[in-house]
Amino acid sequence: MAAAEKHDVFQAIADPTRRQVLKLLSEKERPISEIAAHFPVSRTAIAKHLQILSEAELVIGRKAGREKLYRLHPEPLRELQDWLSYYERFWSNKLSILKHIVENEE
């Protein structure tokens, strides 16, 4: 994958480890060592997860001395919220119609 290629937000959050990383970063900015301490995988594996999240623009990293600190960048999550809202309205409407049909049959 080219460095400039952007990851899809949906693919980025498909992995449970990456979702947990996002949850950790929603609390505060953290260095990779602190993030990795929460998982039974290597620091290298966490670095790869952070790279995918960075490519999806869900996290932003910045240098602070010798460390790199990561923080949540929640704006791309709006895409997910919009998608979920559409289906929430869709199914709410379908269930209302079904309820109306069932109640009128009785």
pLDDT in tens, 30-43: 999 999 999 999 99
More confident residue, 79 or 52: 52
Please provide the average confidence, as pLDDT, over all residues in the chain. Answer: 90
Enumerate the domain spans of the chain. Answer: 1-73, 76-106
Q: What is the pLDDT of residue 77?
A: 86
Paired strand residues for 70 = 30, 61
CATH class of the domain at 1-73: mainly alpha
- Give the CA count within 13 Å in the CB-facing half-sphere of 17: 17
Beta bridge partners of 68: 63
Entry pTM: 0.74
Residue 73 token pair: 């960048």
Who contacts 13 (Cβ-Cβ below 8 Å, separation ≥6)? Answer: 19, 22, 56, 58, 80
Asked whether 87 and 41 are in contact (CB, 8 A), the reply is no
